[in-house]
Chains A and B, each alone.
Chain A
Amino acid sequence: MSQQDPSTINGGIVVAMTGKDCVAIACDLRLGSQSLGVANNFEKIHQYGKVFIGFTGLATDALTLSADLKYKHNLYKLKENRGIQPEVFANLISSTLYEKRFGPYFSTPVVAGLSEKTGEPYVAGFDCIGCIDAARDFIVAGTASDQLFGMCEALYEPNLESEDLFETISQALLNAADRDAISGWGAAVYMITKDKVTKTYLKTRQD
């Protein structure tokens, strides 16, 4: 019991998907200590300007990382006098994670946003030392990432409209969480389009 994998102590998942002129990112709300559920309102997605980032893995590291990125994002805004692009933010996260190459944060973030210039959806994932995985379709992370991969492979179609994308990402998240004992306990879905961001809480099984 003394030695265990830090990235699976607290549990939790994040998934992001691209659609037609829209992008979605969703997370579960559970925070646990192994099999013991501790909180059902632990939101893993944070907003930085128009960029959304979900942090999975060890909760303490996720919180530290999100505070550090807020620090860097605020300074970026002040110095550059403009908002940050999702691609740029992905590189910022990558270098931030690699700084801790030999004592890494046990967190695997997921980035989602719309590129301001082109309006193209952008999603990217990372390993815990900052290798960027910029996918065209979807990114999964967390303790049920295998299950999420399966759900996304089965349900995802390219160029979905925002309503359909919402349904797809919600079903992928819900059904993956149901096959993982330490994920679930509620979920939050962000739908990001050019002129609107909607946040929806999903009712889920409570076991």
Chain B
Amino acid sequence: MGSRRYDSRTTIFSPEGRLYQVEYALESISMAGTCIAIMNPKHGIVLLAERKITSKLLEQDNDNDLEKIYKLDDHILVGVAGLTSDAESLIDTARIHAQQYLKTYGDQIPVENLVRRISDIKQAYTQYGGMRPYGVSFLYAGYDDLNGFQLFTSNPSGNYSSWKAISIGSNTQSAQTLLQMDYKEDMTLDECIKLSLKTLSKTTDSSSKLTSDRIEISTISKDLVTINGVEKEKMSLKIYTNKEIERMLKEHKVNEKNDDDEEEEEEDEDDDEDMEEY
């Protein structure tokens, strides 16, 4: 192993031109709970996260205390994969950036602006000597008037990219394949939720069912609201409670094997058609 001499410092390239600490950080994220986001640019974005329950004695308070999904501002949600403590410190700075922008410009921070600022911080820690990179990847789901709904992901290297559907955490490879097969441009938000739940249930260990205390769901969407008799589109941000998640799991029959298989077959046919087009 030629890595030994070069992996103790983040600032140093290996002779093959690699940064081992950054790669190790990415590796640690690939073992964390999965986080999936699916976007329909017209309707909104769904963010789904899997929390790993390490002990049944651990207090679970899904309604008031999310550990995988956070609000950065009234128009941006973020999903986390990796070290939660690293994530929280970055989220703290992100929230302050968002409020600072609002105070100076009187306008909500554009999504990409915030993503870039956080990514800049992450990048810096791949260069500082004697420090390790942030061990987190983020999924940012946001809306702004400039670019509408936007979905970004960022990783410990400081790179960020924009997606229609993406997953981070464990089993991203297989989740990404499923998403690529089943993503359709004209999905409603409800169908986005269904696809995200199905993708998660297929990529996690088949032995354990998806339960409301194992997942967190939130959406950012445009809803029609009637204000003084006039219908208007309003951006809204929703974090689902335990009960609502339970209802959704039942509604979409996520844990029912038979139904799932039937649907799978149907989809397989669809997928074949899609593939032919390509």
Q: Which A positions have Cβ atoms within 8 angstroms of B?
A: 67-68, 70-71, 74-75, 78-79, 81
Contact = CB atoms under 8 A, between A and B. Distances in A.
A75 B96 contact: yes
Nearest to B66: A81
Contacts of A68: 103
Contact of A71 (B64, B72, B74, B103): B103
B57 to A, nearest CB: 24
A67 B71 contact: no
16 contacts: A70-B102, A70-B103, A71-B99, A71-B100, A71-B102, A71-B103, A74-B74, A75-B95, A75-B96, A75-B99, A78-B71, A78-B73, A78-B95, A79-B95, A81-B64, A81-B65
Contacts of B103: 67-68, 70-71
Q: Is the interface of A mostly helix, strand, loop or mixed?
A: helix
The list of the 4 closest CB pairs from A to B, nearest first, reads A71-B99, A71-B103, A67-B103, A74-B99
Nearest to A79: B95
Interface in B66-107: 71-74, 95-96, 99-100, 102-103, 106
Count class of interface residues, chain B: 10 to 19
Contacts of B74: 74
Nearest to B96: A75
B89 to A, nearest CB: 13
Nearest to B70: A78
Nearest to B91: A78
Contacts of A71: 99-100, 102-103
Contacts of B106: 67
Given A70-B102, A70-B103, A78-B72, 4 more contacts: A71-B99, A75-B95, A78-B95, A81-B65
Contacts of B100: 71
Contacts of B73: 74, 78
A79 B71 CA distance: 9
Interface string B141-161: 000000000000000000000
Contacts of A79: 95
Contacts of B71: 78
A70 B106 CA distance: 11
Identify the interface centre among A70, A71, A78, A81: most chain B CB within 10 Å of its CB: A78
Contacts of B96: 75
A175 B71 CA distance: 46
A79 B95 CA distance: 9
A141 to B, nearest CB: 24
Nearest to B92: A79
